[in-house]
Structure 1
């Protein structure tokens, strides 16, 4: 069977994080949603998404296909029910289509009525940007059980203080130096070749993915995910960093989501709680306004390739788009669109040609190839976000 992960309307509620990727490639817990499905299905998946993303995330169609909602996380019951679908059937939960069995021709023109099968399964899903950090503890605990079951952890070094060591898993090649690991509130996962430098204090639930680094003396609270090849220092609380991004210095990051290829300058701080203790409103792209999150704690949502200078201060509930560079004294405004250069004193446009040069440099530092497809994707997002730059 051919499996395809599809985007639907909630994708727009997850902007700016989905400007550069399908929903399924959001990191949530230890794994991305795609990685979770591929772990369960034991096969590779392709993607049905926006046209401009299809060059990097192509759709593979075969004679028989099951398409699966990329915002929904798998579990045993869902996978079993999806495996029982027949042609013309869909698995649903209320208004959510979880999966559908399609013949190859159905991608272009549906062949007839769809029989809906209502599942009684409970499952994790993401509907809005803040769900990524608010539900991250649940996703992380689920992934921890999934990928460590039946496996043996590397030994915790004798010079570390481990609390609830049975809830700590260390992959081969990881290095942990004279640090505290407290897994009493949730599991701690240390990925392959990750590094925890001396004097760090880690509190679960926490995932440090492969090749990620925690700098000396860092304080990391759960529920936090530090994605592959990311570097983190200072104080971090209940945040998700997708990968290849750096917050390598002192400063506070709380209740936030940082996409790939971002850099937070030294002593960058995010406010994650209003002085009035009111619930936080956050910029929503479909509504083009600030909407209620239902969250009392909410920090920074930052799109791919964006960066900020030293001592940058972000207000409670700030959204930054793709490829923006922010600097200057004072609190920044709480919506900064894509391809902006500046700060409180004013902004100019950060042109895609320069954004591509910077991205190539960052890829080169990680010894990764920056392709023409990557460059075209940045150009496409620049064109897609033109209207927001007026705000």
Structure 2
């Protein structure tokens, strides 16, 4: 059987992160959503996504296909239900299409012509940007249980102080010295060739993915995920960093999500709680207005390739698009469109050719090439987001 992840109707709710990737490339817990499905299915998966993303994320079609909603995370029960689908059957729950079998690869919403089967159990779905951090604890625990089942951790150096070491797992090449690892509130997963420098204080859940680094004196807690090849320091609480991003110095990042190739300048901070303790509203691209999250704690959402200078400050519930550069004192507004340059005193357009120069240099530092495929995607995002830039 050929498996395909389709973006589904929630894609626009997950912008700015889905400007530059299919929904299935979102990281939550330890793995991306695609990596979870491939691990459960023991099979490769392709994407049905936006046309401009197809070159980087190509679609593979066969005579018979199972299309799976990329915003829904797998578990054993759901896997069984999908495996039992017959030709032209669809698995649904309320208004959510979970999966369907077809020879014609299109994104269906009404399932007309399909024999529909109602899925009675709960599903784990990512519907909004804030779900990525607010549901990270549950996803991290599920990934930890799945990845470590029947396996033995690499040895933990006796220079460390551990609490509940049975909930701490080191992959091959993981290095941690002279740090405190407390897995009381959640598991701690240290990926292949990841490293925690001396003097760090870690309170699970934590996923430090392959080749990622926590620098000296890092303080991380509250179901935090640091994606591959990222570097962090300072205080990080209940945040998800997709990968290849840097928060390499002191400063607070809390209840936040960073895409790839982001950089947070030294002593930058985000607020995650309003002074009046009210629930936080967050910009939603789908409705083009600020939507109620229902959360009291909600910090920063930052799209790929965006950066801050030193001592940058962000208000509670700030959304930053793709390829923006924030660098002047004061609190900028809490919605910053893609390809913006400036800060609290005002913004101008960050032209793609200049943004690409910075991206090429940053990516080369991680031995990744900024190629024409990346440029074409970002140029398309530049055009898509023009209407939100008023400068």
TM-score computed with the length of structure 1 as normaliser: 0.98
Corresponding residue number in structure 2 for 1:276: 276
Q: Which aligned pairs between 1:276-295 and structure 2 lie closer than 5 A?
A: 276-295=276-295
Q: Note closer, same or farther for the CA distance 1:187–1:108 as it changes in structure 2 (3 Å cut).
A: closer
Deviations 1:290-310 (A, max 9, x none): 110000000000000000000
Corresponding residue number in structure 2 for 1:309: 309
How far, CA to CA, are the matches of 2:105 and 2:377 in structure 1?
28
Q: Note closer, same or farther for the CA distance 1:107–1:281 as it changes in structure 2 (3 Å cut).
A: closer
Q: Note closer, same or farther for the CA distance 1:51–1:106 as it changes in structure 2 (3 Å cut).
A: closer
Corresponding residue number in structure 1 for 2:22: 22
Contact between 2:207 and 2:225, CA under 8 Å: does it hold in 1? yes
Instruction: Return the offset for 1:370.
Output: 2.0
Corresponding residue number in structure 1 for 2:85: 85
Q: Note closer, same or farther for the CA distance 1:219–1:80 as it changes in structure 2 (3 Å cut).
A: same
How far, CA to CA, are the matches of 2:247 and 2:105 in structure 1?
45
Q: Note closer, same or farther for the CA distance 1:106–1:136 as it changes in structure 2 (3 Å cut).
A: closer
How far, CA to CA, are the matches of 1:234 and 1:112 in structure 2?
52
Corresponding residue number in structure 2 for 1:257: 257
Secondary structure (helix, strand or coil) at the match of 1:370 reads coil
Are 1:213 and 2:251 an aligned pair?
A: no
Corresponding residue number in structure 2 for 1:185: 185
- Aligned residues, how many? 390
Contact between 2:88 and 2:115, CA under 8 Å: does it hold in 1? yes
Secondary structure (helix, strand or coil) at the match of 2:98 reads strand
Secondary structure (helix, strand or coil) at the match of 2:260 reads coil
Deviations 1:168-225 (A, max 9, x none): 0001101101000000111000000001000000000110000000010110012100
Contact between 1:144 and 1:189, CA under 8 Å: does it hold in 2? yes
How far, CA to CA, are the matches of 1:147 and 1:111 in structure 2?
34
How far, CA to CA, are the matches of 1:64 and 1:257 in structure 2?
36
Corresponding residue number in structure 1 for 2:356: 356
Secondary structure (helix, strand or coil) at the match of 1:259 reads strand
How far, CA to CA, are the matches of 2:41 and 2:176 in structure 1?
33
Q: Which aligned pairs between 1:1-391 and structure 2 lie closer than 5 A?
A: 1-103=1-103, 105=104, 107=106, 113-390=113-390
Contact between 2:36 and 2:74, CA under 8 Å: does it hold in 1? yes
Deviations 1:302-327 (A, max 9, x none): 00000000000000000000000001
User: Deviation above 2 Å: which 4+ runs of structure 1?
Assistant: 105-112
Secondary structure (helix, strand or coil) at the match of 1:332 reads coil
Instruction: Return the offset for 1:361.
Output: 1.1
| Unaligned ranges ≥5, structure 2 | none
Q: Note closer, same or farther for the CA distance 1:146–1:325 as it changes in structure 2 (3 Å cut).
A: same
How far, CA to CA, are the matches of 1:344 and 1:192 in structure 2?
40
Deviations 1:44-76 (A, max 9, x none): 110001111111111111001000000000000
Instruction: Return the offset for 1:121.
Output: 2.3
Instruction: Return the offset for 1:156.
Output: 1.1
Contact between 2:8 and 2:107, CA under 8 Å: does it hold in 1? no
Secondary structure (helix, strand or coil) at the match of 1:220 reads strand
How far, CA to CA, are the matches of 2:73 and 2:191 in structure 1?
21
Secondary structure (helix, strand or coil) at the match of 2:67 reads strand
Secondary structure (helix, strand or coil) at the match of 1:390 reads coil
Contact between 1:141 and 1:186, CA under 8 Å: does it hold in 2? yes
How far, CA to CA, are the matches of 2:105 and 2:328 in structure 1?
53
Contact between 1:88 and 1:112, CA under 8 Å: does it hold in 2? no
Instruction: Return the offset for 1:122.
Output: 1.9
How far, CA to CA, are the matches of 1:372 and 1:68 in structure 2?
30
How far, CA to CA, are the matches of 2:12 and 2:107 in structure 1?
23
